[in-house]
Chain A
């Protein structure tokens, strides 16, 4: 591994753009080295001036792009030049054999031997490859940057190319498979859908378990539940961020890395750094266009199959004649009427799935400009993205703009400003439980037509519907249904306006002291407009309209002082002290209009006519006040020690427990830098370890307060006002804390041909916050309390191997993480104290968080065809007894990972990213209706493997219309059993991209320096035993608790898309 002192880097390298003290320190070194290099270069030029032999060529990156500023050194430094702005170099050498090395910060040095005859001019092109673990690379850490070599915490770095390589509904989904220990599950195929990200397991129950997102130093709002689970889709606040604006993403995983964020680091921190300007002028343009369809399709029964099975169920239950049919007949009808209805049903066979899905069309354009001068630099980017999903009528459009500017008015002052403005327009459709494809997989029976073929009369003889009108049917809850009618008639748009802004002033009052004051403002306005026209109601002649608006205003102020000093010739000390204040205000309102004839929000006159009712949400506010410090001690450039401490105060806790103290200690040792270390094989060896304490306060703002109704609550009894309690107080509610021990070893082999890292961690989370369901006899049904203890323990392994080098290159990157999760204690509560999803997950001591807690299914009795269950003692029983529910599996995988193989040949590159998950279970909550009691839901073809006669060995029991046949309470066909808990292991080809790069098109200042075209496929195939739609799924949720408890539960959830995209990127 190349771990020597950093080579010279030109002013326009990423390091030069870094905005803080580390940059400053490095810049001083850079100046010295630059001057040294200039002298060296001058010497080379002078000494070689009389020779005629010349070596020329082009230095490119792994994608074929030119690399300006690369260092080309001959014979160990005797002669050297830098590549020009087009990546070209020209090196004059003496006659004979030379060893030429090509290097650039962040890339693996390449060495070539070349022999020049007298007077010969020879060409040698070289492609440099990035090295993710290169020790002199710089990574962003909390409130600063560090050389990777010095980092003592666990940090995964993902660059912009990795993020934009995979086309996803939102940038965070592109992190999947890129970093060990970071589990990313994209939720569904809905446009703009969010992902579930868990860093080193699930450590929370009712408090949000998502990592903290920090954009350019500003913790941003990331509340998925502003509108709750609206239409089976949570708003995803991250979808408005343009992936093309992102320079890099750092994921902080252990306490040493996250400790500086103390209060909110328990679930990891994701640092997003956006692009900034650089010296000179350059432009970037990228565009892609493509289409998508579902990665998998549901296998619903057709009319003949459904009616056959329904008839069989009817006869199994003792029925005679034709079975009654929902919407067409009833059980009490005469045999003749039932027969007529049956025959009528046979005339229609609607494929409702096909009626709700199609081909999603998507295209995006992104343009960025960078410009830099002596005392300023700028980055400006604009983008437009129209991402249509395969769900008909569903798309997410994003328009965004960003301006990042740095200005250095004096040597001792620098101003940095970042500002983004974006708008996301989500053209919504009903999905999952709400309708659309969800209806097509449930209540839309195949014998229902899309359109009427007859005239429908009212009881009084008046015409209610004409041929060609939508055929509307009612589901079991009386809702008017027809997914086509709803999609085509309903207007439903969510508009999100967001602006993330940050301004910093960096002062350098003395050498090596940097004082930075920052202010950030994150504004979010989400507006949802809905209009339901009368055509989708059975009983109304007019429509209704609603508007829901939510605002989130997030301020952040911080002040840091950073000082670094050399204590001795061999040791240095870096100190950081700072404070931070963050405040978030949320508020909103809803307006409902009844009896309107159109979308009131498009028509002011209708707004005036409509009878609107406004509901104003109570504002919600919270704040954090923090003081923190960090000390870094470096000895002999191979021993590294770090200590962090942070005191956080949160308004969410009372005075008794308001402040939490979160320290961390860590150390790193670059063993391979020891004088005694000699190994021909091992080129790099580093060990590090850390211990730290982090916290979590992501709970509702006012959970600690005991509250009573407002004086003007408007409720009267017998004309008299009332006062009543709302929520019990818990003044002792306190921080959820995690203590983490982490250790890792990093190794480079064969001159870093192979680099690998193995890490171990043990994270014990205590005082875990649970919104406990309390016995009603206490007067309340819920109470927030610090109850649980959760253990996450795991191993992470990553490896990068350059399997083939030379003209044909093959690189493999693999990461695998194994996490063990155990809920160690929930105090005196029972598993039902906290539930997740729809009665599927519970808190079970000794099992993972969110374990499925269901009746255990054993088999189908061959003689009777009845389901046989197992009670907790393991005894077989025909009784379905909720008190016998037990752990039947969990949704947490044994290990997850990703593997990327990259092949390059000349200007071609092929990249394949595969992600995998092993050992998790998925509860297919839809199956309990699709594969259970025959009801008003359509069923899946797996049900054909059902018991039909004594002796049958079948997967599914005898068909029945009567839920009591399976031991269920009458009226409750919701068959929650382990029969529908499936293996969710999968291997998915997440992305396959073929690219071709033209290094330079044209000449001169208008030349295109890097033109790359590519074709990619997302989710090309998935290998899995899961019989449902998609083994990678996150159900729509209404709160953070569900998100923690039931990640692997599906309920009519649309599968992910398979997308085909053609793209072009260019720089000029």
Chain B
């Protein structure tokens, strides 16, 4: 019958020679057309959820592993060609893993911009919801720009006026591609977005953006800008809020369990984090896996040859004091130093901004700005008490700024192992003029920055990073 109708229609059309445009109308199935996609506040909320979805897929270990590989923390990857290229600091615009990472950050940025640009399409949007949606979107946008600029550009302070090239700055969901903005401009936009989020979001918001999460990132960003006072202030805002407490357990990667939404098991010191996967009620299917890159690259209990292992440097660091419980994160045969931090975990929550890190950022900021060292010493000892036992390896009261800074840096390196924070510190010390090298090469050697993907260059005029020279 369908064919008959078609034939009749075609014959009719042929005879009438008009009015058959509808025969040329087909729409793709199982998708929504762009013009029909966003109609109400729920659509905007689902769009915002997708921002977190992308962010979760980036911070499930993908970003952290890449950042770690650019430091002294990791040994040469076992077999991954892409990871080896990162470790050698010779990524090029054909390296798919780093290209994919870069691309996904901009997916999240684009989606955040779509939310902000679509308010006028929605009629039932109240002001409160609109403000929240904008604040959360700008939070995601800022966080993504932040990860991009610190991995694909030299750090803040690399030039006096920060006019060196950063990354494309995208604040609208528009079509034309953008050139690289200056680092100054990128940082300014990140800070503006986070300040907006800080001012307009609730202090706590579960696994989503919050005012405290914005402060947590701001503390880190100001720290990288060497604005010690601002970094200290933002860190203190979080620490002083009383909303988060240091976990007595060294393991911040809380595993979910069957039939339990992992988001309910966020570690108490997590200021902002990613919720891991969880099994469906029937227990058979893994519904949401947001910790795969940690699990698949580091776990050694189910893999004779894990992709990523610690460097000799890290192993030596933990061998210095056998009382350090964090030494259990390493299992070494003297040659290969495997990571045990993620053993026995199939899926788990991922802390991104946590209280431990903010304590140490505050301690380092105080050591730099000449503030109250007792507070800094307290921060460090809170961390050490957990690792070594109460008062067993405390930094003495009255220690000077240099000792505080050194102790804070050491704890920072240990505590944030596998989290990618070490890269920030390498760059900060480099830009501060400290003689910093990574595996024998200058911290800013050509190749120390990730290379932009080839697709970035398809619009004329895009400037790539220099390659080679770190080996």
Contacts and interface: CB of A to CB of B under 8 A. Distances in A.
A3 interface: no
A362 to B, nearest CB: 38
A709 B31 contact: yes
A779 interface: yes
A804 interface: no
Interface in B420-471: 453-460, 462, 464, 467-468, 471
Contacts of A702: 26-28
A905 interface: no
Q: Which of A578, A781, A833, A969 has the most CB of B within 10 A?
A: A969
Chain A interface size, as a band, is 35 or more
Interface in B46-81: 46-47, 49-50, 52-54, 56, 80-81
B121 interface: no
B24 A649 contact: yes
Interface centre among A555, A726, A776, A839, by most B CB within 10 Å?
A776
Given A623-B23, A711-B32, A779 B110 contact: yes
A777 B176 CA distance: 9
Interface string A853-894: 000000000000000000000000001011100000000000
Contacts of A709: 31-32
B243 interface: no
Nearest to A557: B10
Interface in B79-119: 80-82, 84-85, 88, 90-95, 99, 102-103, 106-107, 109-111, 113-114
A110 interface: no
Interface stretch (B12-20, B339-347, B366-374, B401-409): B12-20
Contact of B455 (A521, A627, A776, A972): A776
A724, A773, A781: residue with the most chain B Cβ atoms closer than 10 Å: A724
B348 to A, nearest CB: 14
A1045 B277 CA distance: 42
Interface string A618-657: 1111111101000000000000000000000111000100
A559 interface: yes
B458 A710 contact: no
Contacts of B287: 716
Interface string B230-270: 00000000000000000000000000000001010000000
A970 interface: yes
Given A583-B6, A777-B177, A832 B457 contact: yes
Given A625-B23, A651-B24, A781 B455 contact: yes
Nearest to A702: B28
A778 B207 CA distance: 27
A651 B99 CA distance: 35
Nearest to A619: B29
Interface string B34-55: 1101100001011101101110
B175 interface: yes
A620 B464 CA distance: 39
B441 to A, nearest CB: 14
B85 A971 contact: yes
B26 A651 contact: yes
A701 interface: yes
Nearest to B84: A971
Given A709-B31, A725-B34, A623 B460 contact: no
- The range of chain B's interface size is 35 or more
A40 interface: no
B32 A708 contact: yes
A778 B28 CA distance: 23
A558 B14 contact: yes
A879 B460 CA distance: 24
B303 interface: no
B85 A969 contact: yes
Contacts of A519: 7
Nearest to A715: B53
A622 B177 CA distance: 31
B11 A721 contact: no
B84 A581 contact: no
A1005 interface: no
B14 A557 contact: yes
B120 interface: no
Q: Interface centre among A578, A624, A708, A775, by most B CB within 10 Å?
A: A775
B103 A781 contact: yes
A828 B102 CA distance: 23
B32 A710 contact: yes
Contacts of A580: 14
A624 B25 CA distance: 10
Nearest to A879: B468
A650 B113 CA distance: 33
A702 B24 CA distance: 12
Contact of A650 (B24, B170, B178, B453): B24
A706 B35 contact: yes
Contact of A718 (B17, B43, B207): B207
B168 interface: yes
A972 B34 contact: no
Interface in A291-308: none
B172 to A, nearest CB: 10
A267 B45 CA distance: 47
A282 interface: no
A779 B111 contact: yes
Contact of B464 (A708, A726, A883): A883
Contact of B11 (A517, A627, A773): A517
A828 B460 contact: yes
Contact of B467 (A558, A578, A775, A881): A881
A510 B83 CA distance: 78
A118 interface: no
A720 interface: yes
Contacts of B173: 779
A722 interface: yes
A829 B84 contact: no
A729 B107 CA distance: 16
B43 A621 contact: no
B34 A707 contact: yes
Interface in A77-97: none
Nearest to B173: A779
Contacts of A461: none
B127 interface: no
A723 interface: yes
Contacts of A658: 21, 24
A612 interface: no
Nearest to A782: B455
Contacts of A433: none
A718 B52 contact: yes
A625 B20 CA distance: 8
A970 B86 CA distance: 10
B288 interface: yes
A728 interface: yes
A287 to B, nearest CB: 38
Contacts of A776: 99, 102-103, 106-107, 453, 455-456
Given A555-B6, A722-B53, A776-B107, 8 more contacts: A581-B6, A581-B23, A705-B27, A724-B53, A777-B168, A777-B170, A779-B109, A970-B471
Interface of B: 3, 6-7, 9-11, 13-15, 17, 20-21, 23-35, 37-38, 43, 45-47, 49-50, 52-54, 56, 80-82, 84-85, 88, 90-95, 99, 102-103, 106-107, 109-111, 113-114, 167-168, 170, 173, 175-178, 206-208, 261, 263, 275, 287-288, 453-460, 462, 464, 467-468, 471
23 contacts: A519-B7, A581-B9, A619-B29, A621-B26, A623-B24, A625-B13, A706-B35, A708-B32, A711-B32, A716-B288, A720-B46, A725-B110, A773-B458, A775-B168, A776-B102, A776-B453, A776-B455, A776-B456, A777-B168, A829-B460, A970-B84, A970-B85, A970-B88
Interface of A: 517, 519, 521, 555, 557-559, 578-581, 583, 618-625, 627, 649-651, 655, 658, 701-702, 705-711, 715-726, 728-729, 772-781, 828-830, 832-833, 839, 879, 881-883, 964, 969-972
- Counting from the closest, the 4 A-B pairs by CB-CB distance are A779-B110, A706-B34, A971-B81, A557-B10
